[in-house]
Chains A and B, each alone.
Chain A
């Protein structure tokens, strides 16, 4: 190798690795594909089969019970507006994809965050990996994702999961570590098991911060849907990509606005859920 003109073929190595990986773990990829696309299909079916007015009312009801009448009113108007933009189906598709990606991301992120808070070497290992995942441009995930799952919903979902995962892990770890050690000691001092301490003391007290992490995961996932559209995930992302390719300004703007409506809806509802945790209720009682 010429040291004055170095060229490390890292990309080739990764490519070789991927080829090998896909060959060796095809079964694993198939399972992942099956689960993710299956979940998506089910959710999309649920969201898109009722007539749109029923769906709007259901969403508004969720907003009402979680966040109160203001958010409910916004939901009514916002989603009616989406329908008026002729983006209803795309919006439901995107909503389903985001929810699947977020659920999977949280199922990985929260236990991992808890583990990192409890076991210091896990934390040491996880931190640089998360840094890497977050600083890598999101687009770069798409190509290997296509390689592994070909085009469709799954590569979009996988790329979204990887991209949205880090704040979930980080904030969960932080949240658990932040819990007053003396309160944890109180649990220990009265003979509580570590499972009891985790579920009855640490998680409830960490909940507001964990919910902030959930909120961030959702927002990051939404920001990925446009990219997901590029790999054939369809939905609002597909509409935006189509708008770009055909220089179809109206389409791109309308799809973009629909994304904004989903974003506000999800943000307000999850933030309100964060305020419904027992510790927040106690704080509110104390402030009153």
Chain B
């Protein structure tokens, strides 16, 4: 991984006296007090974008997103600081170097499309290739392919004004993609699209990115979009970058109240993953252990069942308290005979929590998070899942226990607390038989192969989102 775009202390001030504005800002002045001297659109922005990363810049209208992205390909000079793209210092480059960098390495999708109105859609899509010097027939053919890729098959002969805003946006996208540069700057590239197509384009972009390893700098004011696309997200406010982090970090550890408020209505189930809410558990037992040790572990962990592991921590199944007691009474030497697999539902750490609700509500025991070698990583008790839906207080990573989530069976508050603290796996609450014969049958078949189950869940969730938008 190498850094392909690097911004260091970038300032952009519109107005007559940018240097004075920068000096005053550095001295701690508020940009609102400097409006007479100039508009500070970007203030002290520093970040690095790595190869193959989708870096999202998010912020409200007027926060300086477009200004920032324009400094990255030198459309606008920086007033202070420097921008490096693939090792070239954009802020000092001469115009022919700039042209080369833009033509070969950085293309851009514009917020307001910026299509050439006097050219057909196909010619517009071919524009980047025209500048690269590709012969006419070849570039028009290529443009047609990209138009197809963005779903504009058959629109090549129209003029941009004959297309809806969303379609024009896609022409802009095709034009940028046709350039086949390794860096893509996208300024609210999907804002004009209707939700269905938007979703589709987002997915396409992610796919494209992973296939072609493009580095994408994506601007949006839509938090859900930011969370969906962004490997990392920079949140801008009044010209400053106030936080840079993964979507989970932004969501669970907002840097200040502003961001906390901002992220309040994000659909966090799409962002948070099993890994971010899973707990460690002590309610495990080795397959070689006897029923007596199992009984002690059950007692210690205050739970009603144990996960059975082998020496590699591979999950083999579970044992329930009832069976452990019976095995002990019958004098069995190991628990191997009473291991059950039926109630276990395993998920992968990267599974979004939106896909955990259905299995969790049907399962009698917490979901088990395993890695690709079937080794235990942690568990997701239902209460943790429900909890993740609540807003975190500012700057809290821990999810506090919530008692109203407990089921009818009486659990003393103190017990509930200690449960979630040491992450007891099989609490009574969870183990309460919730007579769901059909559901458990479902879970059973799904649990047969974790991957299969996740795949199905993914599809289901995607459909659900489609419907929602």
Interface residues of A (CB under 8 A from B): 180, 182-183, 185-194, 196, 201, 204-205, 277-279, 281-283, 285-286
Contact = CB atoms under 8 A, between A and B. Distances in A.
B162 interface: yes
Interface residues of B, number: 34
Of the candidates A182, A190, A194, the one having the most CB atoms from chain B within 10 angstroms of its own CB is: A190
Q: Label chain A's interface by main secondary structure.
A: helix
Nearest to B172: A186
Nearest to A191: B103
B278 interface: no
A190 B117 contact: no
A182 B108 CA distance: 12
A196 B104 CA distance: 17
A194 B95 CA distance: 10
Contact of A190 (B70, B107, B118): B107
A124 to B, nearest CB: 17
Nearest to B75: A185
Given A182-B114, A190-B103, A196 B161 contact: no
B115 interface: yes
Contact of A189 (B75, B159, B160): B75
A182 B100 contact: no
A286 B161 contact: yes
B161 A191 contact: no
22 contacts: A182-B110, A183-B116, A185-B70, A186-B108, A186-B110, A187-B131, A188-B75, A189-B75, A189-B110, A190-B127, A191-B99, A191-B100, A191-B101, A191-B103, A191-B131, A191-B132, A205-B117, A205-B118, A278-B119, A282-B117, A282-B119, A282-B159
B455 to A, nearest CB: 40
A284 B132 CA distance: 30
Nearest to A193: B99
Contacts of A193: 99
Given A196-B131, A286-B159, A286-B162, A188 B110 contact: no
B148 interface: no
B114 to A, nearest CB: 4
B162 A285 contact: yes
The 7 closest A-B pairs by CB, nearest first: A191-B103, A286-B161, A186-B114, A191-B102, A279-B118, A278-B118, A182-B114
A183 B115 CA distance: 6
B112 interface: yes
B179 interface: yes
B114 A192 contact: no
